[in-house]
Amino acid sequence: MRASSRLLSLAIAAPPLAIVVWLFFLPFLSSAHLSFLRDGAWSLGNYALVWRLYRFDVLYTLWISVVSLVLVLGIAIFLCGYLRIVGHRAVEFLFKVPLFVPFVVVGHGMRVLLAPRGTLNSALAQVGLVDLGDPPSIAFTWLGIVVSLVWKNLALAVLLVLGAYRAVDEAYLEAARNFGASVYRQIKDILLPMAAPSLVVASAFMFTSMLASFSIPLMIGGGEQPQMLMVDVYYRINYQNDLGTANALGMVSYLLAMGVAGYYLRTITVKEF
């Protein structure tokens, strides 16, 4: 590569590299440093407190994220397969609408829909399926958080999975149809295996996003233990002014996300080389 090309490549790479260093690596190092300080001295006390008070919140966060991811992928794999093979522009647009809805608005909308006397129960009460004197509640439970995260992230899943499916050569699908393969078999035996690497990358993006969810768990969660980790960080900083424990919780979140990020980097490295 000539020197001018190298300089041009360096000039192009410098701004995004500076942003990554400024917005991620420096805050990461600062968070790691503060997580080992307690009362001005080096200590593992913050991590001991995290283990004592928040270990079930870590498991709860993983549970919510994994269940939501499995549901999102399960729906997206077959929905996008149908959209790829049969095609339906209006349905595709409707499933992409949540991309343009902020997380806070999703949280508020789900509270209105899923609350004990919310829109859903009121509609079901009209046909006698729910007693509003003692209504069931999906909001303020783990199920409400899962439903909200699935609806919000399904749009991103449709965008990524459908893009991967559309990259599959139409000749494979045409050959399968000539042998009498149904839509289900075309999805299971052709689209899904050929788009698997892209699905893994999409899963990494969505899992990391769910892991760091804040506004939806805060608005839809029950307000009692267990909570998702970002809600714990919020309360630790704003109500207890405990930056050390908050940063220790942040480091735990970093470690959980880094496992997924490492797999993502390994995947794209294998694809490039």
pLDDT one-digit tens code per residue, 127-183: 888 888 888 888 888 999 999 999 999 988 888 888 888 888 889 888 888 888 888
CA 243 to chain centroid, in Å, comes to 25
Is residue 265's pLDDT more than 70?
no
Quote the pTM value: 0.84
pLDDT computed for residue 51 by the predictor: 94
Q: CB under 8 Å, gap of 24 or more: what pairs does 25-28 form?
A: 28/254
Q: Which residue has the tokens 């042998």?
A: 179
Is residue 272's pLDDT more than 60?
no
- CB under 8 Å to 74, separation ≥6 — which residues? none
Asked if residues 112 and 122 have their Cβ atoms less than 8 Å apart, the reply is no
DSSP state of 226: S
d(CA 205, CA 65): 12
Cis status, amide bond into 226, omega within 30 of 0? yes
Q: What is the pLDDT of residues 180-223, one digit of tens each?
A: 888 899 998 889 998 888 888 888 888 888 888 898 998 888 77
The helix or strand, by DSSP H or E, that contains position 43, with its residue range, turns out to be: none
DSSP string, 169-207: -HHHHHHHHHTT--HHHHIIIIIHHHTHHHHHHHHHHHH
Work out the percent of the chain whose per-residue pLDDT is above 70: 95
